[in-house]
Amino acid sequence: MYKNLKEIEIARQLISPPGDTLAETMALRGISQPILAMRMDRPIKTINEILKAKTAITPETAIQLELVLGIEAEFWLEREKNYRLELAEIEHAEAMLSTREFISNFPLAAMKKLHWINFEDSITSMANAIYAFFGITGEEAYFNYYHKNVYEAAYRMSTQNKKNPFAVAAWLKQGEHIADQIKVPAYDASKFKDALLEIKNVMAKQPADFFSQLQSLCESAGVKVVHTPCLPSTQLHGSTRWLNDNPLIQLSNLYNRNDIFWFTFFHEAGHIIKHGKREVFVEGLKYSEEEQIKEDEANEFAVRYTFSKSQEKEVLENIPLSKKSIFVFAEKFNTHPAMIIGRLAREHRELYAMGHSLNIFQQVDLSAY
C-alpha cells in the first residue's frame, strides 16, 4: 500500500499500460496504426485508444492481436488485467489517503467520546461516520455545502482566528442535530421579549433546573436553546442562527462560569431581536468591522439585561465591596452575583478571587443536556 501522495505520483509515472507494449511491438515490426487497423479490421480510433490506455484490450481484441502479431492472446489479456489491477490500487490508495487527510481535520476522538459519532479503527469507518454526521457523500460535497454555503462566515472567521474550522463546523452541526429533536411553535418576537424578562428572574435565582426553565421559556416563543460542549481548538461560547423559521441559540458553557453563560445567552438573544435571519453568529471568532458593529449591538443588549451601565456605576460608588454588599446589589438589580463580580473583576482583582472562593462563578453541570 502506498504511504503518501508522493509514492502514488511515482507509481502513476511508472505504471505501464498494455498500449506501451503494443506500441513497441508495432515500432519493431514497422507497422503503423492505419496498417494495424486495416489488418485487424478495426477502426483506427480503437487502435489509438488502446495505445493511450483509453480502451481496454478485450478477449476479442487479444485474439486479433495474436493473429496479426503472433503474440498469444493470453499475454495481452494478462497484460491488461495486471495494468487495470495496479491502476485500481493506485486510485484506491489515492482516494484513501485523500480521505484520511480530510477526516483528520475533525476532532474524531472528542466527537466519539461525546457520542456524536461512532466508528471502528479504519479510515472507511471514520469517513462514513463523518459523512453521516454531516449528511454528505464526500469531501467535495462537504466543502461545497458547509464551507461555501451554510457555515461560510464561520469558516472564514475561524481561520482568521486560528481556530479549527472543521471542529467549529462539527460543533455547529451537533447543535442542529439536537435542535431537530425539539418541536416549537412559530417564532413570536413579542413573546420572546416577554420570555426574556422571565429568564432574567431565572438568572437571578438560578434554581437547580434553570436550564430546563430557560429552554421551556424560549420554546414557548419559538426559540430553540441547546447545549453542546466545546470541541478542541474551538473555544466557542455560543452561536445564533435560524433553522428554517425558528432561531437557534447554541451554548457551550465554556469555562463553566455563570457570568459568561448568562451574558452569552442574552448576547445571542440580542442577535435574534436585532439582526437578520440569514446570518450566522458564532461568539469567540474574529469579525470584520461591519460584523463587529452587530457584535457590539448584541453586547449592549446583553449588558442591559444582565447588569446595566447605570447599575455598574452605582456599584462602583460603593467600592470596596463585601460579600454581603454584592448579594444586596444582585437582589436589588435582579441579577446573578456573578454578573457583578465578573464585570468588575478586571479592574478589581480581589473580586475575581472572591467570586471563586464563594463559588459564585461556578456553573451547574449541563452535561445531561
The single-letter DSSP state of residue 144 is I
CA 116 to CA 170: how far, in whole Å? 9
Contact 336, 203 (CB under 8 A): yes
Instruction: Report d(CA 119, CA 81) in Å as an integer.
Output: 35
- Specify whether the CB–CB gap between 151 and 280 falls below 8 A: yes
Q: Options 1.10.3720.10, 1.10.260.40, 1.10.10.60, 1.10.10.10; which CATH number does 5-103 get? A: 1.10.260.40
Q: Which pTM does this prediction carry?
A: 0.78
**Could you list the pLDDT tens digit for every one of the 369 residues in the chain?**
676 778 888 999 999 999 999 999 999 999 999 999 999 999 999 999 999 999 999 999 999 999 999 999 999 999 999 999 999 989 888 887 788 889 999 999 999 999 999 998 888 789 989 999 999 988 999 999 998 887 887 877 777 778 899 999 999 999 999 999 999 999 999 999 999 999 999 999 999 999 999 999 999 999 999 999 999 999 899 999 999 899 999 999 999 999 999 999 999 999 999 998 878 898 877 777 888 899 999 999 999 999 999 999 999 998 888 889 999 999 999 999 999 999 998 777 778 888 888 888 888 889 888
| Residue 238, C-alpha cell as written in the block | 455560543
Separation between Cα atoms, residue 280 and residue 218, nearest integer Å: 19
Q: Most distant CA pair in the chain: distance in Å?
A: 106
Compute CA 201 distance to the chain's CA centroid, rounded to the nearest angstrom: 34
User: How large is the C-alpha radius of gyration of the chain?
Assistant: 32
Edge-to-edge strands of the sheet including 224-227? Answer: 224-227, 246-251, 238-243, 281-283
334 three-state secondary structure: coil
Task: Delimit the domains of the chain by residue range.
Answer: 5-103, 106-150, 177-357
Q: Mind giving me the DSSP string for 248-311?
A: EEEE--GGGBHHHHHHHHHHHHHHHHHS-TT--EEETS---HHHHHHHHHHHHHHHHHHS-HHH
